[in-house]
Chain A
Amino acid sequence: MDKTININLAGTLFQIDEEAYRILRDWLQAINNRFRNVHGGLETIEDIESRIAEIFQSQKGLAGVITKENVEAMISIIGKPEDFDHTESEVDSSIYTTQRKRMYRNPDDSVISGVCGGIGAYLNTDPVLFWILKEDGLSYIEPHHGTRQ
């Protein structure tokens, strides 16, 4: 019996097996590192998240469990950050200087209904990381021991 994890991508729920999840998480982290300090980068991360959901859905529909092969196929379509030709150098300086420390629910960042985005903005960290931590947390609270279909 393989452990599966439920994840939310652009408002769509997917079941993913543990190995696939690790690959997806590392890749998302790399994407996030690449764009988080770039002006408009959060929107780019959201666009990519939507595209991942679309690719997974075309691979599996909504019922199947996402496997390593699915994740690798998706990554070969979207690419790894080091394969993105265009190098962005515009760093959004407001991220470092002007943000006030206030907790809020971020409506522009829909990863887990904005809550993680809000916590991320508060701690000056990235939503994806929190999104991952939240998923990890969930799997402790209610482990998803699913079987492959």
Chain B
Amino acid sequence: MDLENTKAQMRKGILEYCILSVLSRNSCYASDIIKVLKEAEVIVVEGTLYPLLTRQKNAGLLSYRWEESQQGPPRKYYELTEDGRTYLTDLDKSWQELVESVNLIRTR
């Protein structure tokens, strides 16, 4: 068993949920999302995020708009779609259940 690998698997499972959760408050540029995820230590490098954003967008959970930037090329600002909000509500519930299940097992 590889501890780092197990930890990475755990992070991987919650990353998509975390992204939607960050976007539930307001629309964000990828770097804004990365900042939050890095502070929370669920992500290490930016490259992890981009494929996930594309996938969630293609799944209809996110949409984006372009905004001009002073610091370089135009930026994509992502936000949750209606489907994304519903999806997130389900995940919130599921996460809550998971936490309760794990706690139940740990404190048995």
Q: Which of A18-26, A76-84, A100-108, A114-122 contacts the other chain?
A: A76-84
A11 vs chain B, min Cβ distance (A): 6
The size of the chain B interface, using a CB distance under 8 A, is 26
Main secondary structure of the interface of A (DSSP, over half): helix
Given A77-B45, A78-B46, A83-B44: A40 touches B73 (CB 8 Å cut-off)? no
Q: Is B91 engaged at the interface, CB distance under 8 Å to the other chain? A: no
Q: B47–A40 contact, CB under 8 A?
A: no
Would you call B15 an interface residue if the criterion is a C-beta within 8 Å of the partner chain's C-beta atoms? yes
Q: Are B30 and A47 in contact (CB under 8 A)?
A: yes
- B69: chain A residues within 8 A (beta carbon): 54
Q: With A77-B45, A79-B44, A85-B43 in contact, is A43–B71 under 8 Å at CB?
A: no
How far, in whole Å, are A87 and B15 apart by their CA atoms in the complex? 12
Binary per-residue interface labels of chain A (22-40) against chain B in the complex, 1 for a CB within 8 Å, 0 otherwise: 0000000001000100111
Question: When the two chains form their complex, are residues A40 and B46 in contact, meaning their CB atoms are under 8 A apart?
Answer: no
A3 at the B interface (CB under 8 A): no
B73 touches A50 (CB 8 A): yes
B43: chain A residues at CB < 8 Å are: 85
- A12 within 8 A of partner (CB): yes
CA distance A92 to B46 in the complex (A): 23
- Most B Cβ at <10 Å: residue of A31, A56, A78, A81: A78
A77-B45, A83-B48 given; name 8 further pairs at CB < 8 Å: A10-B72, A47-B30, A58-B72, A83-B44, A84-B45, A84-B48, A85-B43, A86-B48
A–B Cβ pairs within 8 angstroms, 23 of them: A10-B72, A35-B51, A38-B51, A39-B58, A41-B51, A47-B76, A54-B69, A55-B72, A57-B71, A77-B45, A77-B46, A78-B47, A79-B44, A79-B45, A79-B46, A79-B48, A80-B45, A83-B47, A84-B51, A85-B44, A86-B12, A86-B15, A86-B52
Task: Name A residues whose Cβ lies closer than 8 Å to a Cβ of B.
Answer: 10-12, 31, 35, 38-41, 43-44, 47-48, 50-51, 53-58, 76-81, 83-88
